[in-house]
């Protein structure tokens, strides 16, 4: 997607509506525990202010389910952003209505206004398909979006984390602003460049590492990538569905029985595509799903009463060896229950192997979520090429899905 960015337009004297992803983690006292997502948006914010524009920032935070919730207020974000910018960030007590309208109208070049959580309104996020087809609800969503669209002269999407959603602030607002500049910010530009270039023009050998609980979550990614990569490494609980499909006993391990035929089919497709699909050859199993549970390493069948918790030492070596000559690596999903000791060893081994390959010149793209958390926990987050800010969005991008909220934005000539 060759989309225009804020560097391609003139914002001097204009009001810029920027959709950002300030969905930051909060503790029980509503204190921000990580400002990473706010910091990620600073280059785009500072560019608009330096070029003489004023900013109206909109984001969601948490899951307030379409109604105001003090625990999901953007107020802590306004305070943190003020600290990071070294200037006051004006706060609107809603994202639509009289207060944001008056405050947006009064903005001067260099001013920043942060709107209250857009998900305090049910019109922002209509999930149910039948509801989406309801004319009354569609009109309510349009009316809601138009109020935000009327606040500004320019639309900027810098929220990759929700780029796979057709939420009102992501899709309907720019749709309402047709004829005005509608561009992406620097964060979205970087995401599209790294994810897009990696999948489209990889330096080979190209290896994908996929983990996590469910094969159903990664089905589209596996099918899309097997025609593009040289190897796919499978770990996490979804490996047990493949193991059962191959006639092995998996004890009490997680398994999606409905997807056993699909697991067989994927292996046949991989062979036809000449893509090496690698599955665990040994497993760390436990009697209980808890930290420090009694455990052992098994090769082959897992007996009843035991469940798979992590890839075993032989698998760690096999997978790490397969990454040694990689020139492009995409990783999404842990190898085991990495948040419970001692079942983090597989994920640690893969994280180190990815970091080592990157140190030898490989390009490594981490698809956010648990993989990013594991790298940070291990202090290896600076030793990979790029960590995506959008777990679900990066996954859907790797599936080859189209993002309608980005497609409607202005193209570069």
- Exactly one of 122, 146, 190, 214 is catalytic; name it: 214
Using alpha carbons, list the distances in angstroms from residue 311 to 163, 192, 282, 284, 304: 33, 32, 6, 6, 18
- Report the largest interatomic distance among the alpha carbons of the chain, rounded to a whole angstrom: 69
Mean pLDDT of the chain: 92
Q: pLDDT 10s per residue in the chain (413 long)?
A: 589 999 999 999 999 999 999 999 899 899 999 898 999 999 999 999 999 999 999 999 999 989 999 999 999 999 999 999 999 999 999 999 999 999 999 999 999 999 999 999 999 987 656 556 788 888 889 999 999 999 999 999 999 988 888 899 999 999 999 999 999 999 999 988 888 888 888 899 999 999 988 888 888 889 888 988 999 999 999 999 999 999 999 999 999 999 999 999 999 999 999 999 999 999 999 999 999 999 999 999 999 999 999 999 999 999 999 999 999 999 999 999 988 999 999 999 999 999 999 999 999 999 867 788 888 888 898 999 998 887 778 878 887 788 899 999 999 98
Q: State residue 195's pLDDT score.
A: 84
- Exactly one of 185, 312, 346, 369 is catalytic; name it: 369
How far apart CA 221 and CA 214 sit, in angstroms, is 12
How far apart CA 54 and CA 323 sit, in angstroms, is 47
Q: Which of these, 187, 184, 113, lies nearest to 152 by C-alpha position? A: 113
- Tokens at 313, concatenated: 């030492």
pLDDT tens-digit readout, 175-223: 999 999 999 999 999 988 888 888 888 899 999 999 988 888 888 889 8
* DSSP per-residue string spanning 393-410: HHHHHHHT---HHHHTSP
Q: Based on the residue annotation, tell me whether 333 is a catalytic residue of this protein.
A: no
- Tokens at 154, concatenated: 């320019």
Q: Are 388 and 331 in contact (CB under 8 A)?
A: no
Q: Based on the residue annotation, tell me whether 392 is a catalytic residue of this protein.
A: yes
DSSP tag of 388: -
- Exactly one of 3, 15, 19, 37 is catalytic; name it: 37
Phi-psi region at 252: left, alpha or beta (left = phi > 0; alpha = psi -120 to 50)? alpha
Q: Based on the residue annotation, tell me whether 211 is a catalytic residue of this protein.
A: no
Using alpha carbons, list the distances in angstroms from residue 274 to 124, 325, 393: 44, 18, 28
Q: What angle do CA 7, 8, 12 make, to 5 degrees?
A: 75
Q: Say what the pTM is.
A: 0.85
- Tokens at 222, concatenated: 């596996």
Beta bridge partners of 366: 331, 387
φ, ψ dihedrals at 311, nearest 5° = -75, 150
Domain boundaries, the chain: 6-188, 202-399
What is the topology classification, in CATH, of domain 202-399? Answer: Rossmann fold (3.40.50)
Which value, to the nearest 10 degrees, does the dihedral of the CA atoms of residues 65, 71, 77, 80 take?
-160
Tokens 């004319």 belong to: 135
What's the CATH class of domain 6-188? Answer: alpha beta
- Within 10 angstroms of residue 338's Cβ, the number of other Cβ atoms is 25
202-399: same fold as 6-188? yes
- Within 10 angstroms of residue 382's Cβ, the number of other Cβ atoms is 9
Q: Which of these, 340, 342, 347, 352, lies nearest to 369 by C-alpha position? A: 347
Q: Based on the residue annotation, tell me whether 316 is a catalytic residue of this protein.
A: no
How far apart CA 385 and CA 362 sit, in angstroms, is 8
Tokens 């994202």 belong to: 95
- Exactly one of 383, 392, 400, 401 is catalytic; name it: 392
């Amino acid at each position: 997607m060759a989309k225009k960015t804020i560097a391609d337009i003139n914002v001097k004297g204009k009001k810029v509506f920027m959709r950002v992803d300030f969905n930051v983690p909060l503790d029980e006292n509503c204190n921000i525990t990580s400002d990473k997502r706010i910091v990620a948006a600073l280059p785009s914010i500072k560019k608009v202010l330096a070029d003489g524009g004023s900013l109206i920032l909109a984001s969601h935070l948490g899951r307030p389910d379409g109604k105001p919730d003090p625990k999901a207020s953007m107020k802590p974000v306004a305070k943190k952003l003020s600290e990071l910018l070294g200037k006051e960030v004006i706060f609107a007590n809603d994202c639509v209505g009289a207060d944001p309208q008056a405050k947006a109208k009064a903005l001067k070049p260099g001013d920043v206004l942060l709107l209250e959580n857009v998900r305090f309104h049910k019109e922002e996020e209509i999930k149910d398909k039948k509801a989406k087809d309801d004319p009354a609800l569609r009109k309510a969503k349009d009316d809601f979006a138009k109020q935000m669209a009327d606040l500004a002269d320019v639309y900027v999407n810098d929220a990759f984390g929700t780029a796979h959603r057709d939420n009102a602030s992501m899709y309907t607002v720019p749709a309402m602003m047709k004829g005005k500049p509608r561009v992406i910010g620097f964060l979205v530009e970087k995401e599209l460049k790294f994810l897009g270039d990696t999948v489209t023009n990889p330096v080979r050998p190209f290896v994908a590492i996929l983990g996590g609980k469910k094969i159903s979550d990664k089905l589209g990614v596996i099918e899309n990538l097997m025609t593009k990569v040289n190897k796919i490494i499978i770990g996490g609980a979804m490996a047990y569905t493949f193991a059962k499909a191959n006639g092995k006993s998996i004890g009490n391990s997680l398994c999606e029985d409905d997807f056993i035929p699909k697991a067989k089919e994927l292996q046949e497709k991989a062979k036809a595509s000449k893509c090496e699909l690698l599955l665990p050859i040994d497993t760390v199993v436990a009697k209980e799903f808890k930290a420090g549970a009694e455990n052992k390493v098994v090769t082959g069948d897992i007996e009843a009463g035991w469940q798979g918790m992590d890839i075993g030492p032989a698998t760690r070596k096999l997978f790490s060896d397969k990454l040694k000559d990689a020139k492009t690596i995409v990783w999404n999903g842990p190898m085991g229950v990495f948040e419970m000791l001692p079942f983090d060893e597989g994920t640690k081994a893969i994280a180190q192997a990815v970091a080592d390959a990157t140190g030898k010149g490989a390009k490594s793209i981490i698809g956010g979520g648990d993989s990013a958390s594991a790298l940070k926990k291990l202090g290896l987050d600076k030793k990979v090429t790029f960590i995506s800010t959008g777990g679900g969005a990066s996954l859907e991008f790797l599936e080859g899905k189209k993002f309608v909220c980005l497609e409607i934005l202005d193209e570069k000539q």
